[in-house]
Structures are given as structure tokens and as C-alpha cells.
Chains A and B, each alone.
Chain A
Amino acid sequence: MEMSSRRHGDTQVVTIDENRIDAAIAIAFKDKIRDLTENGPRNVILDLGRVEFIDSSGLGAIVAAMKQLGQDRTLQLTGLMPNVEKVFRLTRMDTVFRIHESIDAALAANTA
């Protein structure tokens, strides 16, 4: 499970360096996100720009990652490809996450 993290002031950007978040990888995803974001900044932006496919297990792992951050921190998303965006829409989880058009837009929204 490859992901990388950069910090921009009060915001952390976690980039997923995998093309799938599926059942084979969901638990590793959850664990790695927790390690990367533990005691980190208040806002975490998950960059899914390289992810071509997500299934309900992968979606569940992203929801779990948000819950791990707790009430005082946020998990926001960017870089959703059409096929990934469709899964969020079909499950109505697009109403739960704040979704940005680009990393720049996400960073701007969080520094405003």
C-alpha cells in the first residue's frame, strides 16, 4: 500500500500512489492512513488522482479513515476520476465528504 504525505501549513495532503483501493488493500489502507495522520494537522486532504478503481471495501476504508480522525479534524477529497466519483454518488457518500476539484482548490479552501 503506497501513499505519500506532504504538509502545507495547517493542512496535510495524503496522495494515494495506487491505482486501486479494493478489498485486497482496504485494511492496509486504513492502517497506513492512521499512521500517517496520527497527531497531524487538523485538515487532511486525500488526493485520489491516481486511483482508477474503488469498490465498497475501499469506500468503507476511506469512511473509516475519516472516523479515525475524530470530530475535530476533517478528511476531504480531491482528484476523483469519473469511475471513482460514481461510487461516491451511487452510495450518496458524496454528500458526506467535502470534495474539491484540485489540490490547489482544496488548499485554497482550507487557508481561506
Chain B
Amino acid sequence: MAPDETIAFSFDGSAIGVRQALTRLMRDLQARSFNKVDRDNVELVLAEALNNIVEHGYRGGKNGKIDLCCTLRPEGVDIVVMDCGAAVPEAVLLPRAAPDPQTRMHDLPEGGWGWSMIHKLTGKLKYSREGDCNRLELHLPFSVDVRPGSGSD
């Protein structure tokens, strides 16, 4: 893989737009000999980050674009996601426990895992509000799977 190669494109901030963008990115990463575990981690982290933008940032049918830029480095991949939806509340960015599965069945969570999965699979995470837009920077080191003792587990 050539160092510091960049893959960048824009897409619709919709559930279908996210699905198509992930499919395209996975194809591009596979063509660059990314291994399966690393591709899977990038796909999962990005799916959660992008779904958050669609569901919260662009909530209420507000149409918007999402810009994605992935820089492939020897030690991992740097991802920048930009959108011009609502700001991300600071509280959700803090590392936190996943919802508790040890509860009665009808109280089981049906969501709320997104940020905890992002934190578990991401090395570095930085969020900033730039004017009316959001910038999320993620660094995923190669071949980290679940790190024992990280997060709440």
C-alpha cells in the first residue's frame, strides 16, 4: 500500500446514502489490500458515526451532504467526517458504558450502543464544531479488535 493514500467523496446524508458510501469505501479498501478485520472495523465505526449524523444531525428530513475522507497510513487509517447538521452534544462524546444487558426482557435496550462501539474500536477521536458544520476525526490503528479491559467490559 502506498503511504498516505487518500480516499475522499461526498454522499447524501440518508440511510441509503450511508449504505452506498460504506459499500463503496469497503470496495476501495479491499482493492488496496486492507485485511478483513480492519475493513470490518472501519465499516462498523463509520456506520455508527454516519447513522448518528443521519438520525440526529440531519433529523427531521433536513437534507444534507456528508463528506468523508480516509487517509491510509502505514499504522492505520485516519478518517474525517464532515456534515452540516445539528451540533453533537458534548455528553455523548465521552467514553461511556454500553447499555446494561442484565435487565428484564421488556426493559432491554433497542439502541444506544453506537458511541460505545465507536470508542471501543477507535484509537483517537476528536470532534469540533466549525461554523455551522461538524468535524469528526477518527483514528483506527490496524488490527485492533476488542481490547480487553477497555471501556466498561
Q: Considering residues A60, A61, A83, A92, which has the most beta carbons from chain B within 10 angstroms of its beta carbon?
A: A92
Query: Could you tell me if A60 and B111 are in contact, using CB atoms closer than 8 angstroms?
Result: yes
Stretch at the interface among B14-22, B60-68, B69-77, B87-95: B14-22
* Binary B-proximity of A34-73 (CB < 8 A = 1, otherwise 0): 0000000000000000000101110111011011000100
Complex: A56 Cα to B52 Cα, angstroms? 10
The answer to whether residues A55 and B44 also contact, given A23-B54, A67-B106 and a CB cut-off of 8 A, is yes
* Binary B-proximity of A3-34 (CB < 8 A = 1, otherwise 0): 00000000000000000101110000000000
Complex: A55 Cα to B112 Cα, angstroms? 11
Q: Considering residues B99, B112, B116, B117, which has the most beta carbons from chain A within 10 angstroms of its beta carbon?
A: B117
Tier of interface size on chain A? 20 to 34
Q: Majority SS of interface residues in chain A?
A: helix
Query: Could you tell me if B40 and A59 are in contact, using CB atoms closer than 8 angstroms?
Result: no
Complex: A87 Cα to B8 Cα, angstroms? 27
Complex: A82 Cα to B37 Cα, angstroms? 9
Query: Could you tell me if A59 and B113 are in contact, using CB atoms closer than 8 angstroms?
Result: yes
Shortest Cβ gap from A100 to chain B (Å): 19
Residues of A within 8 A of B99 (CB): 91
Number of interface residues of B (CB under 8 A): 32
Check: B43 CB closer than 8 A to any chain A CB: yes
Check: B4 CB closer than 8 A to any chain A CB: no
Question: Which residue on chain B has the smallest CB distance to residue A91?
Answer: B113
Q: Which B residues fall within an 8 A CB radius of A?
A: 15-16, 18-19, 40, 43-44, 47-48, 51, 54-55, 98-99, 101-102, 105-106, 108-114, 116-117, 120-121, 145-146, 153
What would 24 A/B residue contacts be, using CB atoms closer than 8 Å?
Answer: A22-B15, A23-B15, A24-B19, A55-B114, A56-B48, A57-B111, A59-B113, A60-B110, A60-B111, A60-B113, A64-B110, A66-B105, A67-B108, A71-B105, A71-B106, A82-B40, A83-B43, A83-B44, A86-B146, A87-B44, A91-B116, A91-B117, A92-B98, A96-B101
